[in-house]
Amino acid sequence: MVELCRVDDRLLHGQVAVAWSNAISPDAILVANDEAATNEMTKMALKMAKPSGVKLAIKTINDAATLLKDERTTQTKIFVITRTIQDALGLVQQLEGQIKKVNIGGVKKNEGAKMLAPGVFLNENDLATLKDLKNYVDVVEFQMVPSESKTDLEKILK
């Protein structure tokens, strides 16, 4: 069962490994990103950042969807992390309502992007993708760390 899906361009790092893992207490972390799943150096770095006692899987978007559709994952608290909003959309589109909440964390500045929340820089394409994402999940929220207050997508879009 997916406890939370988080978009964070740094994927699994100290803030996620400590703060988010403590807040969620997952049995497993699933990194869903095509590039990370095929890059041995990235996989090695992610494995080193993994909290002890928590399983880690690093999969492409399609393989992550296949894994999450497996009945054996229904009894496992899973924390999903994607690198981009587009990755999150690609995953939720394949999972027929299995992911209820998407948390937007760190999204680095790119061309044409504006800061819409602390640490979150989005361009027009990202905003369009977020609006599409909202059609598949119950909640899209912005929050860097669990101790900070959440900001709902609707407030960002105003």
Of the residues 1, 5, 7, 13, which is catalytic? 13
Angle made by CA atoms 77, 89, 43, in degrees to the nearest 5: 60
Kindly give, in sequence order, each residue whose CB lies less than 8 Å from that of residue 152, ignoring residues fewer than 6 positions away: 139, 140, 141, 142
By the 10 Å C-beta count (0-12 exposed, 13-18 middle, 19+ buried), 132 is classed as: middle
Is-catalytic flag, 25?
no
Which residues share a beta bridge with 139?
101
CA 9 distance to own-chain centroid: 9
- Number of residues in the chain: 158
Widest pairwise Cα distance in the chain: 42
Count other Cβ atoms within 10 Å, centred on residue 72. Answer: 7
Which residues share a beta bridge with 30?
57, 80
Q: Which residues are catalytic?
A: 13
